[in-house]
């Protein structure tokens, strides 16, 4: 139930993957949340085509991954600007990307959200907002204009975010230099299984099979930028394919057609007062390497538990500043690597030579691992104080032996609660965490493995104890060969989960 005088604790603008994931995270913590979406229904457009390793881990941490695996297809390879990469299967329990359409992802997330009690209000577009010391009044443009009062508003409403504009948050970056068309169609005359990044003198094209009988066609044109409001049409997609391939392969029955470019922009701030941004509302970029949807879902998982802690009065508001501090550099790096990938797609002999050289480097294991870890986000290390090698990193999903039998670390996070994992049976550690037992779960176990993998291509000795945040990142650690720094543990517990409870 929302706080007195509020329609909801949190209003989320946008029912895409980021908004829905954030809503689920908040509901898991017991926060009352309402999602408003300007569209009357899900578009059904396939759009983004997959999820990388870290996003699969995040869903596994919540116990819902099997729903997605059942409707997708794992792929053994990835790419950097169309140049193939091989994923190291030893670095994650879910090392391979999952090919699954965005429309399917949204449907599954909305079903999960409904199970958790999330309210989704459609045909409700944010048209105004006014914030004060106690909350935000959100104006909605509906058939009958209405307002919602909430303690917090999160804009997950896409690259043209109304929330971002109304909050006065700048969106600096670089403009588009090319235009690509994309559509899901039937191609009865296609005589190849697929076509991948086939380069021509004035662009490139790809044809990828997503479902039996249906193909995703992507064509690109350089040094021509379409007007943002110009509609993308079936005729344009067909003409562009004929221009690049010499045929349309009998193209027919379009499910959806859209366009994109290589504009790259990022919100200067992810929070202004009681208004926050996540997903495409906070960052847009060239959709290379399949990173966009994944970054948004991971934004939601980083923000959700922090916002819930503040709403529930367990932590001070300044905890929310860590959301910007941790996630802004992540998206900044994505913009950087997608600008590089965009440059590598440009036609011409100079770029052809650059691609040949780049391709010759990718065959080296260290280069391949570095790029894979970057694209999958397995190498992210947040700026968290602490000396242990795992502090700031996502915790590996190591196998455990507990009093209840065999388990694994990510399964401990299904309830989206912090975990103090004690792998040595340390009485000092147990004594410290007792003061946070209303918020932090103490789990005693033993590691089944002597060493744990740390992407890219490294490993650490299994620790003696770890403090794991709800998003799966490590906030404190102790090694087996040293005594635990209980003062640092107490500081970490206070920093991330608020002061100890009163006696």
> Which string of DSSP letters, residue by residue, matches 19-39?
HHHHHHHHHHTT--EEEEESS
CA–CA dist 51, 72 (Å, integer): 10
* The predicted structure's pLDDT at residue 302: 98
Tokens of 61: 């941490």
| pLDDT values of the chain reduced to their tens digit, one per residue, 503 residues | 666 678 999 999 999 999 999 999 999 999 999 999 999 887 666 666 789 999 999 999 999 999 999 999 998 888 999 999 999 888 999 999 999 989 899 999 999 999 999 999 999 999 999 999 999 999 998 666 799 999 999 999 999 999 999 999 999 999 999 999 999 999 999 998 889 889 999 899 999 887 788 899 999 998 788 887 788 999 999 999 999 999 999 999 999 899 999 999 999 999 999 999 999 999 999 998 889 999 999 999 999 999 999 999 999 999 999 999 999 999 999 999 999 999 999 999 999 999 999 999 999 999 999 999 999 999 999 999 999 999 999 999 999 999 889 999 999 999 999 999 999 999 999 999 999 999 999 999 999 999 999 999 999 999 999 999 999 999 999 999 999 999 999 999 999 999 998 66
* The predicted structure's pLDDT at residue 503: 61
Backbone φ and ψ of 248, nearest 5°:
-105, 5
* The predicted structure's pLDDT at residue 90: 87
* The predicted structure's pLDDT at residue 35: 97
Find out whether 106 and 17 touch, Cβ atoms under 8 Å: yes
Composition of the chain by helix, strand, coil, percent to 5: 30, 30, 40
Tokens 């662009």 locate to: 203
Q: Report the candidate in 500, 426, 439 with the shortest Cα–Cα distance to residue 465.
A: 426
CA–CA dist 310, 331 (Å, integer): 24
**pTM to 2 decimals?**
0.95
* The predicted structure's pLDDT at residue 376: 95
Tokens of 140: 């909605």
CA–CA dist 415, 441 (Å, integer): 10
Return the half-sphere exposure (C-beta side, CA atoms, 13 A cut-off) of residue 380: 28
* The predicted structure's pLDDT at residue 190: 93
User: Cα–chain-centroid distance for residue 393?
Assistant: 16
Domains of the chain, CATH where assigned: 8-78+96-173+265-345 (3.50.50.60), 178-261 (3.30.70.2450), 393-497 (3.40.30.120)
Tokens of 49: 């085509």
Q: DSSP states of 142-196 as a string?
A: SSS-EEEEEEEEEE---TT-HHHHHTT----EE---EEEEEEEEE-TT--SS-EE
Q: In a 3-state reduction of DSSP, which class is residue 450?
A: coil
* The predicted structure's pLDDT at residue 340: 96
Tokens of 348: 């011409």
Tens digit of each residue's pLDDT (9 = 90 or more) over 198-216:
999 989 999 988 778 889 9
Q: Report the candidate in 497, 276, 496 with the shortest Cα–Cα distance to residue 392.
A: 496
* The predicted structure's pLDDT at residue 43: 64
Contacts of 449 (CB under 8 A, 6+ apart): 398, 399, 462
CA–CA dist 291, 221 (Å, integer): 22
Residue 74 DSSP symbol: E
């Amino acid at each position: 139930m929302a706080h007195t005088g509020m329609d909801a604790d949190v209003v989320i603008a946008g029912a895409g993957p980021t908004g829905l994931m954030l809503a689920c995270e908040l509901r898991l913590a017991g926060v009352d949340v309402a999602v408003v979406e300007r569209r009357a229904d899900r578009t059904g457009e396939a759009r983004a085509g997959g999820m990388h390793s870290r996003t699969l881990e995040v869903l596994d941490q919540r116990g819902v991954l099997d729903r997605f695996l059942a409707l997708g297809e794992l792929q053994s390879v990835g790419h950097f600007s169309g140049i193939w990469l091989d994923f190291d299967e030893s670095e994650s329990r879910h090392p391979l990307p999952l090919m699954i359409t965005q429309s399917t992802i949204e449907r599954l997330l909305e079903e999960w959200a409904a199970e958790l009690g999330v309210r989704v209000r459609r045909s409700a577009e944010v048209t105004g907002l006014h914030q004060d010391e106690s909350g935000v009044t959100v104006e909605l443009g509906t058939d009958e204009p209405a307002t919602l009062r909430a303690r917090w508003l999160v804009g997950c409403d896409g690259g043209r975010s109304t929330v971002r504009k109304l909050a006065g948050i700048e969106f600096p970056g670089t403009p588009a230099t090319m235009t690509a068309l994309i559509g899901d169609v039937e191609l009865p005359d296609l005589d190849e299984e697929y076509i991948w990044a086939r380069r021509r003198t004035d662009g490139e094209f790809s044809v990828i099979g997503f479902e039996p009988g249906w193909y995703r066609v992507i064509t690109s044109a350089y040094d021509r930028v379409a007007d943002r409001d110009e509609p993308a049409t079936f005729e344009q997609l067909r003409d562009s394919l004929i221009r690049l391939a010499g045929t349309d392969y009998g193209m027919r029955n379009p499910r959806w057609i859209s366009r994109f470019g290589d504009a790259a922009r990022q919100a200067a701030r992810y929070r202004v007062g009681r208004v926050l941004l996540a997903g495409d509302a906070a960052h847009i970029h060239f959709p290379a390497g399949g990173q966009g949807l994944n970054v948004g879902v991971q934004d939601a998982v980083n923000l959700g538990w922090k916002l819930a802690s503040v709403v529930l009065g367990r932590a001070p508001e300044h905890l929310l500043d860590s959301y910007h501090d941790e996630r802004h550099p992540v998206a900044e790096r994505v913009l950087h690597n997608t600008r590089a990938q965009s440059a590598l797609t440009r036609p011409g002999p100079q770029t052809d030579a650059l691609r040949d050289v780049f391709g010759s480097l990718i065959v080296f294991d260290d280069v391949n691992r570095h790029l894979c870890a970057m694209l999958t986000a397995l190498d992210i290390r947040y700026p968290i104080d602490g000396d242990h090698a795992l502090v700031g990193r996502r915790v590996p999903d190591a196998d455990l032996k507990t009093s209840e039998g065999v388990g694994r670390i990510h399964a401990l996070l299904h309830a989206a609660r912090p975990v103090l994992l004690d792998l040595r049976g340390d009485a000092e550690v147990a004594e410290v965490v007792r003061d946070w037992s209303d918020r932090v779960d103490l789990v005693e176990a033993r590691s089944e493995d002597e060493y744990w993998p740390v992407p890219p291509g490294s490993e650490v000795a299994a620790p003696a104890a770890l403090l794991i945040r709800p998003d799966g990142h490590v906030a404190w650690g102790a090694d087996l060969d040293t005594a635990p720094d209980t003062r640092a543990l107490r500081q970490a517990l206070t920093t991330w989960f608020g002061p100890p409870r009163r006696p």
